[in-house]
Amino acid sequence: MGGQTKRAWMAGGLFLAMLALSSLACDLPDFGRAEPPAVTITAPASGSTAQQGQEIPVQSHTTDDEGVVRVELWADGVLVRVDASPVSSGQTPFVAIQPWRAEVPGSHVLIVKAYDADDEVGESPPVIVNVQEVVGPTAEVETPSAPTEPPPTSGPTELPPTEPPATELPPTGQPTEAPTGEPDNVPQIQITSPSSPRTVPPGTTVRVKVKATDDHGVVRIELWADGLLYRKDAVGGGKAVDWEMEWTPPAMGTYVLEAKALDTQFQPSPVARLEIHVEQPAQPTPAVPDPYGAIWKSLGGMSSGLGGPVGDPVGRFYAGQQFEHGFMFWRDNAGATQDWIFAFRWGPGDDQTQGLYWSRFDDVWTEGDPEYACAEAVPPYGPKRGFGKIWCERAEVRTNLGAAIEEEWGKDGGWLDFEHGVMLWDARNGRILVLYENGTWQAFPE
- Give the separation between CA 56 and CA 99, rounded to whole angstroms: 6
pTM (two decimals): 0.43
Among 331, 345, 357, 352, which Cα is nearest to 416's?
A: 331
Cβ-contact 174, 153 below 8 angstroms: no
38-134+147-160 and 188-278, same CATH topology: yes
- Give the separation between CA 429 and CA 446, rounded to whole angstroms: 9
Main-chain dihedrals φ then ψ at residue 351, nearest 5 degrees = -70, 120
Residue 323 has pLDDT above 90, yes or no: yes
pLDDT value of residue 10: 44
CATH superfamily, region 188-278? Immunoglobulins (2.60.40.10)
pLDDT value of residue 183: 75
pLDDT value of residue 233: 94
Give the model's confidence band at 17: pLDDT under 50 very low, under 70 low, under 90 confident, else very high: very low
Q: Which helix (H) or strand (E) holds 385?
A: helix 385-393
Give the model's confidence band at 213: pLDDT under 50 very low, under 70 low, under 90 confident, else very high: very high
- Give the separation between CA 254 and CA 275, rounded to whole angstroms: 7
- Give the separation between CA 54 and CA 428, rounded to whole angstroms: 107
Stretch 362-386: mean pLDDT: 93
- Give the separation between CA 267 and CA 186, rounded to whole angstroms: 6
Neighbour tally for 361: CB within 10 Å: 18
Among 243, 234, 283, which Cα is nearest to 85's?
A: 234
Percent of all residues in the chain with a pLDDT value above 90, rounded to a whole number: 59
38-134+147-160: in CATH 3.30.428.10: no
Among 285, 283, 300, which Cα is nearest to 442's?
A: 300
- Give the separation between CA 167 and CA 59, rounded to whole angstroms: 9
Stretch 393-418: mean pLDDT: 96
Among 122, 154, 138, 136, which Cα is nearest to 37's?
A: 122
Q: What does the pLDDT look like over 43-84, one tens digit per residue?
A: 899 988 888 888 888 989 999 888 888 989 999 988 889 888
List the chain domain ranges.
Answer: 38-134+147-160, 188-278, 293-445
Neighbour tally for 144: CB within 10 Å: 15
Q: Which helix (H) or strand (E) holds 55?
A: strand 55-63
Reduced to 3 DSSP states, what percent helix, strand and coil does the chain have, rounded to the nearest 5?
A: 15, 40, 45
Among 95, 113, 84, 111, which Cα is nearest to 158's?
A: 95
Which residues does residue 306 pair with via DSSP β-bridges, in sequence order?
none
Residue 190 has pLDDT above 60, yes or no: yes
Span between the terminal Cα atoms of the chain, in Å? 113
Cβ-contact 428, 411 below 8 angstroms: yes
Peptide bond into 313 cis (omega under 30): no
- Give the separation between CA 276 and CA 249, rounded to whole angstroms: 9
Distance, C-alpha 53 to centroid of its chain? 53
Q: In what order do the strands lie in the sheet with 94-101?
A: 38-43, 55-63, 94-101
The C-alpha torsion from 342 through 348 and 353 to 354, rounded to 10°, is: -60
Per-chain mean pLDDT for the chain: 83
- Give the separation between CA 394 and CA 149, rounded to whole angstroms: 103
Give the model's confidence band at 276: pLDDT under 50 very low, under 70 low, under 90 confident, else very high: very high
- Give the separation between CA 140 and CA 136, rounded to whole angstroms: 12
Give the model's confidence band at 403: pLDDT under 50 very low, under 70 low, under 90 confident, else very high: very high
- Give the separation between CA 301 and CA 386, rounded to whole angstroms: 34
Cβ-contact 166, 59 below 8 angstroms: yes
Stretch 10-33: mean pLDDT: 46
